[in-house]
Structure 1
Amino acid sequence: MNARTEPGEEAGPAAARPPIVRELLLVAGLFLVYKFGRQLATGHTGEAFRNAHHVWDFERWARLPSELDVQDLLLHGDTLVKAANTYYATVHFPATLAFLVWLYLRRPAHYVWTRRVLAAVTGAALVGHLFFPLAPPRMLAGTGLIDTARVYGPSVYGPPQTDHLSNQFAAMPSLHFGWALMLAIGMIVATRSRWRWLWLLHPALTLLVIVGTANHYWLDAIVAGALLGLALTFIRPPGTRTSQVVPAPQEQAEPVKELVGAGR
C-alpha cells in the first residue's frame, strides 16, 4: 500500500465485494426478524412503566444530568425543537442505509465488518427489549418532560394502544445512538481524511436529539455504547488481525554468522 492508498482499496480476495442479492436478502431478513421481535415485546405496559421509574430513579441516584435540562435547551424556539423532531424522524434509517451502501461500493471489507457489528448490536438490543421493556421518558409522568414530537411535530409514533408498527416500550438500548456511533466509527476506520473525526458530530447530535425530545434516557445511550464496545472487541475491522512475527533480516543472519565462525 502506498502513501495515497486508503483502507479498503487493497486488491485481492479479502476485499472482494459480497454478492448484492445475498446482502439484500440478509439485510432484509435481519430487519424482518428485528421488527417481529419488537412486536413480541409489546403488551408489557405495566412492567415497562415500572422499569421506567427504576431507570429514572437510578439516574438521579447516579447524578446523571437531567434529561429535562436538555429539553429546555430545545424549547427555546419552535424552529429548534421542530428541527430536532425532524432529525429524529428522518435521519436514523436513511443515514445508516447510505453508510452501508457507500461501504459496500467503496470499502467492501469494511462493509462486511460493519454489517456484522450492526447485526450483533441489534440482536443484543432485541434481547434487551424482550426482557427489559422500558417506557420512554416522554411517557413518564412527574418528570416535567413533554412529548415534543406530539406537541410540535413531526411525530413518527401514534398512540401506543393503536400503534402496531413499532414497539414504543423498547427504549433501552437506544439503537438510534448505537447505529449513529457505529456510523461514525466505521467512517473513521474506513477513511483517511483528516476531517474524518467530524463524523463524531453525528452520534453527538443524535444523543442530544434523542434525549431532548424525551425519546430516550441517558442510560439508553450508555447501554447502547457498551454493547457496541463489546461487539467491536470481538469483531475486529479489516487489517487488524495479528499476523505471525517474522524475524528481521539482521536477526535471521545471526545464526548463520555463528555457524560460519564455528567452522573456522
Structure 2
Amino acid sequence: MARTRAYLAQPHWWLEIAIVWSIFQAYSYVRNLGGKEVAPAFANGSAIEDLQERLHLAIEMPVNQWVNTQRLVADLSSVHYHTLHWWVTIGVAVWLYRTNRPAYRRASLVLAFTTLTALVGFYLIPTAPPRMYAGYHDILAQTASWGWWESSGSPGPESITNQFAAMPSLHCGWAIWAGLMIAIYARRTWVRVLGVVYPLTTFFVVVGTANHWILDIVVVAVIIAVAMVVVYRPWRQAAGAAVPEPAAERSAA
C-alpha cells in the first residue's frame, strides 16, 4: 500500500490523460443534460439577484454599465475573459509539471476536485448569468465583431458550452487555483504578486462583462478552500516521504 501511495504521489502521463479524459467526459455529460431548461435557470438567477440585494452585494449592474461606457476596458475585459481563462490555467499546470512534480500532483487534484464539484453545481443549480437580464450589457457579444469569440459571449464554442453554467463560477475557480499555485510555488516576489493579482482581475472581468453574479465567485472560492484542505492537509500521511514539505517545494519562476 505504501509503495502504491508513493507511486501515485508522482504524476504519470497515463494518469494525467485519464484525469483530463474523465473530467471532459463528465463535463460533456453534464452539458448534454443541462443548459436546456430556461425557466429554472432564470428563476435561480433571479433568486441569486434577490439574495444579493438583501446582502448588499448587488454591484453587478453598476460595474457592467461602467465597463460598457469604457471601450478600452470593455475590449481588454473581453480578451481577458476569453483568453487567459484557458492559457493561464494550462500554463501553470505545465510549469508545475516541468519544474515541481510533487507540487503538480497536489495542484492537479485541487483543480480536478474544484472542476468536478462545479459540474455538480451546473447540473443541480442551472443559473442564467446577468447578461441575460434586462439592464445589463453583454460585453463579449458586443466585441465579438472584432474578436474571435462567439456572438453569444460564450467563453468557448457554443457546441460545447452550457450557457446556464454560472453557479459556481468555474472561470473564477480556475483563476483562483492558478493564482494560488503561483503565489505558493513561485520563487520571485514579482511573480507571486502576479499570482495574487490575476484572480482579482478575473473577478472584475466576469462581473464587468455580466457573465457572473458575485455569489458565483463566493461559492467557488469556498469550493477551492475545501479542496485545498482535502488535498493538502492529509498529503504527507498519504504519500509518506515521497512528498517534501510545501516550503521546500518552491520552484524557480
TM-score by length of 1: 0.78
Counterpart for residue 78 of structure 2: 85
**Partner of 1:188: helix, strand, or coil?**
helix
Q: 1:46-82 deviations in whole A, cap 9, x for unaligned? A: 1000111111111111001411221233223322201
**Which residue of 160, 165, 173 corresponds with 1:170?**
165
Q: Which moved more, 1:94-103 or 1:77-86?
A: 77-86
**Which residue of 88, 92, 103 corresponds with 1:95?**
88
Counterpart for residue 132 of structure 1: 125
Q: Work out whether 1:198 is the aligned partner of 2:194.
A: yes
TM-score by length of 2: 0.82
Q: Which moved more, 1:89-98 or 1:221-230?
A: 89-98
**Which residue of 191, 215, 227 corresponds with 1:231?**
227
**Which residue of 150, 160, 181 corresponds with 1:156?**
150
Identity %: 32
Q: Work out whether 1:147 is the aligned partner of 2:138.
A: yes
**Alignment-mate amino acid for residue 48 of structure 2:** V
Instruction: List structure 1 segments (4+ residues) > 3 angstroms apart after TM superposition.
Output: 13-17, 154-160, 237-242
**Alignment-mate amino acid for residue 119 of structure 1:** A
Change (3 A) 1:157 1:222: farther
CA distance in 1, matches of 2:83, 2:9: 32
CA distance in 2, matches of 1:111, 1:145: 39
CA contact under 8 A between 2:96 and 2:103: conserved in structure 1?
yes
CA distance in 1, matches of 2:24, 2:183: 25
Counterpart for residue 248 of structure 2: none
**Alignment-mate amino acid for residue 212 of structure 1:** G
What residue ranges of structure 1 are gaps of 5+ in the alignment? 1-12, 243-264
Counterpart for residue 217 of structure 1: 213
Which of the two has greater helix per residue?
2
CA distance in 2, matches of 1:239, 1:158: 42
* Counterparts of residues 97-116 of structure 1 (less than 5 Å): 97-116=90-109
CA distance in 2, matches of 1:240, 1:72: 48
**Alignment-mate amino acid for residue 178 of structure 1:** G
Change (3 A) 1:232 1:16: closer
CA distance in 2, matches of 1:80, 1:188: 26
CA distance in 1, matches of 2:197, 2:137: 25
Change (3 A) 1:22 1:126: same
